[in-house]
Amino acid sequence: MNLAKEAMDWLDRRLGVSDLIHSNMGGYLLPRNINIWYTLGAVLMAMFGLQFLTGIVLLVYYVPHTEKAFASVTMIMNEVPYGWLLRYLHVVGSNLIMVFLLLHLLSVLFMGSYKRPRELTWLSGFGLLNLGFAFCLTGYLLPWSQLSFWATTVATDAAGAIPVVGDYLVAFLRGGPSVGEATLGRFFALHVMGLPMAFLGLVGFHLFCVRRIGISSPPFGEDYQPTALTQHFHHEEHPGGVPFHPNYTIKDLSMVFFALAALVAITFYAPWLFIPLDALDPADPFTTPEHIKPEWYFLWAYQTLKIFPSELLGLASQGAAMGFLAILPFLDRSPERRPGKRPIFVALYLLGILLFVGLSIWGHYS
């Protein structure tokens, strides 16, 4: 008697698992010309999974208290066996996640995959990008270093520019007039419980949307034709396509391994890329270090605030840019997805990338 087959049959009789597996794996067909950019979702899932794992084990030793947080992180780095490895994987992993999130965003924009009927997939993905930012912001404070303390002070201070409620909002974010024990408590709770729960819910919805609506065809090649819009729900099928498993899962897995190789290479050879010198001193609320800068993915926002004569204008421009991105599928309603036939969009797309990179470099050297 084959025990595995018996177990499978037992489950199958009750839950119909073989049908479920077939319809989502071997029988789930993807476009034949699907490209490598479609693997970024799987790469991000793997990287987030690793963040969950390393985050949980770091919690074994981390103490969320202003008097003990820095010492506990120092202990993890210097005394706990392989503590340095798990912390570096967590730190470097968070930065790589931002890279892959941005690449995912750019590829979806370039291929027009955000367009109708995928507005909800886009909105949930955009929400996940912002959750990524929130994970980074809240996690940044936890080591309670000079860098953590002052970067959080500057980041939370920006909310003060909002008229009428600004001061209250700053105090609410910090749990008091300045960054302190209350800030650490709420950022810790958000980082390890609030945000992960929101993330799991949103990623579940995102994947549901992807599966329910169907994978969008890459808008390249002579065979591509824009999908006609319908008034009713339509699942995009790809008859004659390649099966999700094993064809695409192998490609997904290969890219996941490339991402892990990059993660391990930076972790072993250049972890200092993401851990500047100010991160090595414990927080001192009475001494602001010189040239305090946010992480690279916030540099564009940091520089925007410096360019505008008023902080409110800077914040408003950031809000406008993010708001525009969020509602893009509702503004860009044409079914055309081929980049060659969308010259205005592609020009704006390239300008947007240049602006992001330019502001970030400017912010870094300013």
Partner 1 sequence: MSDISENSSQRRTFLGIILGAIGAVIAGAFSWPLFRFLSPIKKSGEAGQVKIPRQQVQVGGAHFFSFQGRPAVLLQPQAGEFVALSAVCTHLGCIVKWVGDKQEFLCPCHAGRFSPAGQVLGGPPPEPLNTYTVAVDGDDILIS
Note the residues at the interface with partner 1 (CB under 8 A).
Answer: 57, 60, 79-83, 85-86, 246-247, 250, 253-254, 257, 260
Q: How far is the CB of 201 from partner 1 (least distance, A)?
A: 28
Q: Which residues pair with 145 in a beta bridge?
A: 282
Q: Closer to partner 1 at the Cβ: 9 or 79?
A: 79
Instruction: Tokens for 135, please give them.
Output: 């994970």
Which of 183, 142, 139 has the alpha carbon at shortest distance from 159?
A: 183
What token pair was written down for 307?
A: 């360019």
| Torsion 78-83-87-89 (CA) sign | positive
Question: Which lies closer to partner 1 via its Cβ, residue 260 or residue 361?
Answer: 260
Nearer to partner 1 by Cβ, of 210 and 253: the residue is: 253
- Whichever of 85 and 321 has its CB closer to partner 1, that residue is 85
The nearer residue to partner 1, 25 or 80, going by C-beta atoms, is: 80
Residue number with CB closer to partner 1 (80 or 190): 80
Q: Report, in Å, the least distance between residue 22 CB and partner 1.
A: 18
Taking the complex as a whole, the smallest distance from the CB of residue 23 to partner 1 amounts, in Å, to 21
Residue 246 CB, shortest distance to partner 1, in Å, is: 6
Q: Tell me the closest approach of the beta carbon of residue 84 to partner 1, in angstroms.
A: 10
**Closer by beta carbon to partner 1, 94 or else 303:** 94
In whole angstroms, the minimum distance from the beta carbon of 79 to partner 1 comes to: 6
